Amino acid sequence: MAVTVDDQAQERPERAWRHLPADQQPDWPDRAALDQVTDEISILPPLVFAAESRDLTAALARVAEGQAFLLQAGDCAESFDSFSAESVRRRLQIILQMAVVLTYSSGVPTVKIGRIAGQFAKPRSASTETCDGVTLPSFRGHIIHGEAFTAEARAPEPRRLLQAYHQAASTLNLLRSLTRGGFADLNRVHSWTQDFVTGSPEGRQYRALADETGRALRFMTACGVDTGSLPTLHQTEFFTSHEALLLPYEEALTRRDPMSGDLYATSAHTIWIGERTRQLDGAHVAFFASVANPIGCKIGPTATPEEVVELCASLNPGRVPGRLTLISRMGADLVTDRLRPLLRAVRDAGHPVVWACDPMHGNTFTSTSGRKTRRVDDILDEIAGFFGAHDAEHTWAGGIHVELTSEDVTECLGGSHKVLDSDLDTNYETICDPRLNGRQSLDLAFRVAELLRARS
Ligand code: PEP
Ligand code: CO
């Protein structure tokens, strides 16, 4: 007798999510082809190891306790087309630069997580898109199909899951060697600046800070500290993350850890649930509840205090510090009003969450030129509102979650170089949402550093 998907779910309690409605999944034309690919993936090596994810939980527990700050950043959607060693190195570089700025200014460690090595699947507000009278499925990321507006490109292609796996594997391989092998050495902070940033005000401010860190290192050496033998100065801990939207891919990479006996998502160190798939009775929440990784959940302006406390109870029943990060994405106008009741409710319910601010997704609009964009000023306002709300509720503003690139793109408006509406077409490269460019990102790090200093 044929075994149905539901029978399998009954045999394996960890697959209980399969009975539940999963939003934002593509319409696969050939389920058998998808199953064949996920079977292949399920016997490939894990991309990350459970012990690494546990290290991240421990690092995030320090954030939850107010002893560290979280920087989670990277592409809105990684591309299969612009993938190269250079692009990985540059994406790491801007995050390392921002982390140095934040750590040096705040005096607390920065936990670094990239939206990288797996950020391939996108939720969409509308499932179809119409252009010149032609209606096609909306673009959902390179793990599913191509972004060109043709029926061929937009047809879901299961073999892309394998390509995503292999790209994530080689990205991680490079990230591991760059962060362990000297590239991330604190003596090299000067060398992380890209040419177009060097002469800018942000670039100069960064150089001054890099000079200071260099002096601090020389001072330590002069005092007799053997800085050469301290691995923390020459290597860095860097973690990977993505929105775990595409459940068949995630399930194929979920493995039982022999040490703890727990299930872990091995597609990334940490994964998050998007704003559109955080239904309490949905498949995503059930899947996330079944894995032991540190996890995140986006929280938008419609979330009620009761709903958020219930999410905490479902996703972190054991109240483990560092297990759950709530990523608020309210929009600059709403953040003060909407966030405070949530902070109060979670605090009063005694849930030890990390609160991070995504100042991007509540501030997106279509410009007069027809481009999807965001204003740097709105992004900064939302972060300031986030810090203000935490101050008022005596909770810890734990971190930021941003979409950025180190490249000189023109996707977000404003910044010290003032990208204008009329500039958006010049270098608009993203395949999904608009990202801060290298200068805007560095500038943002200095502004957040000021907020951190004002707090301590
Ligand atoms: C994202 O982080 O790219 C995203 C789609 O966010 P949200 O779920 O908050 O809209
Ligand atoms: Co996005």
Inter-residue contact 268 to 117 (CB < 8 Å): yes
CA nearest neighbour of 81 among 146, 35, 29: 146
The model carries a pTM of: 0.95
CA distance 103 to 109: 6
CA distance 203 to 216: 20
Task: Indicate if the pLDDT at residue 405 is higher than 80.
Answer: yes
**C-alpha 319 to ligand 1 mean position (Å):** 25
- Per-residue model confidence (pLDDT) at position 115: 98
Q: How confident is the model at residue 123 (pLDDT cuts 50, 70, 90)?
A: very high
What is the average per-residue pLDDT within 102-128?
A: 95
Task: Indicate if the pLDDT at residue 2 is higher than 50.
Answer: no
What is the average per-residue pLDDT within 408-430?
A: 94
Task: Indicate if the pLDDT at residue 1 is higher than 70.
Answer: no
What is the average per-residue pLDDT within 179-187?
A: 86
Coil, helix or strand at residue 133: coil
Quote the mean pLDDT of the chain: 94
The structure tokens listed for 46 are 């894990």
Q: Name the residue type at position 304.
A: T
Total Cβ atoms within 10 A of residue 29: 11
Is the beta carbon of 388 within 6 A of some atom in ligand 1?
Answer: no
- Per-residue model confidence (pLDDT) at position 429: 95
Task: Indicate if the pLDDT at residue 408 is higher than 70.
Answer: yes
- Which of 157-161, 191-195, 306-310 comes out lowest in average pLDDT? 191-195
**Which ligand has the shortest distance to the CA of 357?**
1
Task: Indicate if the pLDDT at residue 186 is higher than 80.
Answer: yes
- Per-residue model confidence (pLDDT) at position 197: 85
The model's pLDDT over 145-182, given as tens digits with 9 standing for 90+, comes to: 999 999 999 999 999 999 999 999 999 999 999 999 88
CA distance 266 to 46: 5
Task: Indicate if the pLDDT at residue 188 is higher than 70.
Answer: yes
Is the beta carbon of 361 within 6 A of some atom in ligand 1?
Answer: yes
- Per-residue model confidence (pLDDT) at position 289: 97
Ligand 1 atom, smallest distance to 401 CA: 2
| Strand partners for 327 | 298, 356
